[in-house]
Each structure stands twice: as structure tokens, then as C-alpha cells.
Amino acid sequence: MKTLVVGANGQIGRQFCELARRGGMSLRAMIRDSDQQPWFHERGIDTVIGDLESDIHQAFNGCDQVIFCAGSGPHTGPDKTLMIDLHGAIRCVDLAVERGLERFIMVSALRANDPMAAPAKLRPYMAAKFAADAYLRSARIPHVILKPGKLTDAPATRQVATALEHAQGIEVSRGNVAHALLYLSQARMLKNREFDLLDGESSIAMALL
């Protein structure tokens, strides 16, 4: 069984790939260009070149699960948000369905349920996540949607919360997101579930039941 990681070269993607490699998981990291390959090859991680704005069909060959943790990034405009966070995610869902993959894990965002409640500059991104999540819910593939809060570079504690009343705020470290993805990628029984994710005081296994 092989897991395709879309957005593997991002901050969360790299941390997840490192954790998954240590755990013996079979991975394929989808990256945009060959300059990004050395980091993965040094760790024995298979890579495939694929651009969410171009052809990505070959990336799905031989995989049974996909994790979508790609993002257009904070320094791009609404055009990239549209093409990567929305259309790129939709294309991946369609290919996963077409290829008969067993499960799709989507990294979304805490405020995606209500884009208008987000700060003005984040609303296009939240709207893209809102639409991509809705598309995944309606697709013919089992799925998990993970909705992290405001991302930080704090060290991973592996202690999280899935509700604001049990959280330490609206933040979550990228490391904790990566550990949550590792758990979800291995917990194959979890299907058609959605989880908010914040830094908290519960173990990941207890929080993501």
C-alpha cells in the first residue's frame, strides 16, 4: 500500500514524510521540480514530479491513498489560490475516484466552514477550502478532512484538541499537524470523518477517535 503526498515539499508535507518514513510507510512524494528531489532521496522517499497546474495523472499510479497538504502559500494572489487550493484539490479528488483509491485525506483549515468570518485577506483561501471540502464530501471516495487552526512553528507536543473549549487557543503547530496526519494515514478505519485540530492536552489517538 502506497500513500501519495500532494504538497510533500511544504512545511507540513516534509514533516509528515519524515515521520512516515521513520514509521516504515510506503510513500510517494509529489513535488514540483527536480531541485526538490535531493531532500527526499536522501531519506529513501520515492518522488514524482507533478504540478497542480499541469498534468498529474502519473503521480497516482500504484497508490491506494492520497494526502492533500498542498497550498498556494501566503505570498501568492487569488489566482494561485483558485488554481491550487481549489482546482488543484478538485483535480486530485477526481483522479483518486477515477483510479479507485481507498481514501482521500484533505488538509483544510479551521475557518473553512465560514469564510466570511476570516480576516479579509484570508477569505479567498478559506472560500477555496470551503468549496474543495464540499466537493470531496460529495465525491465517491471515503475521506477524512483535517482542519488545523492558525499554524505555528512551535515544537510538536503530540497533545491536541478538536474543540475550542478544550484548546489552548486557535493555534496548532505544524509538527502536531504532521503527527495527526501520520495517525490518520495509518488509521484506515476512519472514513468520512472531519476533525478540527488545535494544540491541546489530549493525545492524538484519543482526540481523533
Residue 135 is among the residues annotated as catalytic for this protein: no
What is the model's pTM? 0.95
> What is the rounded radius of gyration, in angstroms, for the C-alpha atoms of the chain?
16
**What is the per-residue pLDDT for 111?**
83
pLDDT over 90, % of the chain: 87
Q: List the chain domain ranges.
A: 3-207
CA 110 to chain centre: 13
Average pLDDT over residues 51-69: 95
How, if at all, do strands 193-199 and 159-161 pair?
antiparallel
pLDDT in tens, 127-142: 999 999 999 999 999 9
CATH architecture of 3-207: 3-Layer(aba) Sandwich (3.40)
Q: How confident is the model at residue 79 (pLDDT cuts 50, 70, 90)?
A: confident
Report the distance separating Cα 126 and Cα 168, nearest Å. 22
Q: Is the pLDDT of residue 171 over 90?
A: yes
- Active-site pick, 125, 143, 147, 207: 125
In this prediction, residue 74 carries a pLDDT of: 63
- Percent with pLDDT over 70 in the chain: 99
What string of DSSP letters covers 178-206? HHHHHHHHH-TT--SEEEEEEE-SEEHHH
